[in-house]
């Protein structure tokens, strides 16, 4: 990534990736509390039309490079190295627009087979219990053939993970799974109104949730990027029971605050893994210490399905992996 490419990324997305959310905004501009120091009134202005910032309290401003140089207190070269390691969705969109032919192709989409991927999942504390919710993606980037665990989003794109690669293919979007039907089909989801949802930033945390609990049987929403916070909020309007399992870092805390601002009744469950960055890290810790994976039985903090909703459903039976299926 060069300076021109980084400066063309939405500064709003850069700020969100660092955990900074606007105190007020409209289509043209957004106001933030000073990202470089503590303040009680917002003095940092983002002009969305020209993707530039100005800090009124200090009388300085500029582009993305100027912002990150000041934020990280480092050189342009170090800023570009930092930016290269981020997963900015607007940068991926730029690359797709600039190239008439993408430099990658998806070769195969399979049920999970590769033993290396299975071992990677095991290292992350995940058992075959979660295999129904992922795919094995075999793809080519340039001339290099790769394979990874794929997690599908609502636009047909995939979040990808293996022990040495983290990325995405096709369009970036949120993912929604119904734990009763294991349904990731967009058309079905849009027509369905359900009551309960558990919200995660990344799909490894969502899979960890499925691995650890046995009671919650409605929907899971995975943001796949905190840059998709606004889109996630739009989907959350379909739910009356919102359960948050966001990361315990600055960005996750800010995202949680923003969601609770829109949905005051949303429940924060990050206390379950308060000594860990996220739910998957907590699961790995439990696995290494030979503790029960059924954290819900011990903590009593995992959300349970609304009893009235259960009553209204068709008769169900349990299959071998512990999930309920309609007869």
Return contacts of 237-242, CB within 8 angstroms, 24+ apart.
Answer: 238/193, 238/194, 239/194, 239/195, 239/196, 239/197, 240/195, 240/196, 240/265, 241/195, 241/196, 241/197, 241/267, 241/303, 241/306, 242/197, 242/199, 242/266, 242/267
- H/E element, 159: strand 158-161
Q: What is the pLDDT of residue 72?
A: 86
Tokens of 323: 């999930």
Q: What is the pLDDT of residue 178?
A: 86
Q: What is the pLDDT of residue 89?
A: 57
Cα separation of 264 and 256, whole Å?
11
Cα separation of 232 and 175, whole Å?
9
Give the CATH class of 3-97.
alpha beta
127 pLDDT exceeds 60? yes
Q: What is the pLDDT of residue 225?
A: 83
96 pLDDT exceeds 70? no
Cα separation of 70 and 307, whole Å?
52
Question: Residues 171-222: pLDDT tens digits?
Answer: 889 999 987 765 454 445 444 445 899 999 999 999 999 998 767 778 999 9
Domain 175-326 CATH assignment equals 1.10.3470: no
126-135, 155-164, 221-230, 285-294: segment of lowest average pLDDT: 285-294
Cα separation of 242 and 49, whole Å?
34
* Contact indicator for 6, 25 with CB cutoff of 8 Å: no
Cα separation of 222 and 308, whole Å?
25
| Boundaries of every domain in the chain | 3-97, 100-169, 175-326
pTM (2 d.p.): 0.61
Number of helices and strands in the chain (H, E): 13, 17
Residue 318 bridge partners (DSSP) = 324
Q: What is the pLDDT of residue 274?
A: 87
52-61, 214-223, 288-297: segment of lowest average pLDDT: 288-297
Q: Which residues contact 308 (CB under 8 A, 6 or more apart)?
A: none
How much is the mean pLDDT over the chain? Answer: 80
Residue 105 bridge partners (DSSP) = 140
């Amino acid at each position: 990534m060069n300076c021109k490419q980084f400066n063309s990324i939405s500064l709003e997305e850069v700020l969100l990736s660092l955990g900074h959310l606007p105190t007020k905004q409209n289509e043209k501009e957004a106001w933030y509390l000073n990202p470089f120091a503590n303040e009680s009134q917002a003095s940092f202005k983002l002009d969305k039309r020209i993707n530039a910032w100005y800090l009124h309290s200090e009388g300085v401003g500029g582009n993305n490079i100027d912002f990150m140089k000041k934020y990280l207190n480092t050189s342009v070269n170090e800023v570009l190295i930092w930016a290269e390691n981020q997963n900015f969705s607007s940068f991926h969109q730029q690359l797709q627009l600039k190239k008439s032919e993408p430099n990658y192709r998806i070769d195969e989409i399979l049920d999970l087979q590769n033993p290396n991927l299975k071992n990677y999942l095991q290292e992350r504390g995940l058992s075959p219990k979660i295999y129904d919710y992922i795919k094995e993606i075999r793809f080519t980037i340039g001339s290099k053939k790769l394979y990874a665990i794929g997690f599908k989003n609502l636009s047909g794109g995939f979040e990808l993970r293996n022990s040495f690669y983290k990325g995405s293919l096709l369009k970036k979007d949120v993912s929604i799974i119904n734990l009763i039907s294991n349904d990731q089909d967009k058309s079905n989801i849009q027509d369905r109104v359900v009551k309960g949802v558990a919200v995660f930033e990344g799909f490894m945390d969502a899979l960890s949730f499925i691995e650890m609990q046995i009671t919650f049987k409605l929907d899971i929403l995975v943001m796949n990027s905190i840059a998709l916070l606004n889109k996630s909020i739009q989907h959350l309007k379909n739910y009356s029971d919102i359960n948050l399992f966001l990361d315990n870092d600055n960005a996750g805390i800010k995202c949680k605050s923003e969601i609770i601002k829109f949905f005051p009744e949303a429940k924060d469950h990050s206390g379950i893994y308060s000594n860990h960055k996220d739910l998957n890290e907590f699961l790995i810790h439990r696995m290494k210490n030979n503790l029960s994976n059924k954290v819900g039985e011990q903590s009593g903090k995992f959300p349970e399905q609304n009893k009235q909703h259960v009553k209204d459903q068709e008769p169900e039976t349990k299959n071998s992996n512990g999930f309920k299926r309609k007869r």
